[in-house]
Amino acid sequence: MILDKFSLKGKVAIVTGSNTGLGQGICRAFSEAGALVAGVSRRPSAETAEMLGASFHNIIADLSTCGVIDGIIEETVKKFGRVDILVNNAGVIKRQDSIEFSEENWDSVLNVNLKTVFFLTQAVAKQFIKQGGGGKIINIASMLSYQGGVRVPSYTASKSAIRGITMTLANEWAKYGINVNGIAPGYMATNNTEALRQDGERSSDILARIPAGRWGTPADLEGAAVFLASEASDYVNGFTLAVDGGWLGR
């Protein structure tokens, strides 16, 4: 049956940024689809844990450094026995005019959004190969993987690079049965967009361009995430799927 291909029963997923927003929504969707979820967050994901119960295990780790990577994988395997899915969702954004943009703001964003993402992905891929049977990797990109934006040069650089390495890793790892794909959320009602949503003029301009006529929600991303994590997407490699209410098509 076709719906069986979307099941994640018996799978183990690592989802970064599990305490709020898109990450929390993806954790919920995976759990409902049958997966066990190791959620990685800098602060306790108490709400997510209460929501998902025994299917969720919280790993506290600061993703601004690669030093936490081995521990994340080791704790997941110790708790659930294996890893089948990785979602690189955690990210940070710094807003400052490019002409004044600081090295600190550049490094803090690139470290979390790109460097740690790459090396965590590499480590999980090695775990997949060790286990045999392949695996699924989903990188959370952005509309700024396609566009320049304003006042967010390091974020734009990181998300453009995420789309690029998604293709690169898919090219190299498909032979191991590893699918690497991305999701580019549109303008979502999350912590990262709070400043934009509170700016009446900017928010109106954004909404005027979205054919769906509203900001997205974490629930809008859940179907795409389950699809890319499941058997239903076994022949999808290196593609970044926009879930944007029609923004890019405008």
Contact 148/190 with Cβ under 8 angstroms? no
User: In the structure encoding, which two tokens stand for residue 43, read together?
Assistant: 């602060």
**Which residue in the list 155, 176, 187, 235 is annotated as catalytic?**
155
Contact 82/130 with Cβ under 8 angstroms? no
HSE-CB of 181 using CA atoms within 13 angstroms: 22
Those residues with Cβ within 8 angstroms of residue 220's Cβ, 6 or more apart along the chain or in another chain = 185, 188, 243, 245
Please count the other Cβ atoms lying within 10 Å of the Cβ belonging to residue 3.
Answer: 7
Q: Are strands 56-60 and 85-88 parallel, antiparallel or unpaired?
A: unpaired
155 is catalytic: yes
Number of residues assigned to the chain:
250
Contact 11/85 with Cβ under 8 angstroms? yes
Backbone angles phi and psi of 197, in degrees to 5: -70, -25
Beta-bridge mates of residue 13: 37, 85
Contact 56/227 with Cβ under 8 angstroms? no
Q: Could you give the residue numbers annotated as active site?
A: 155
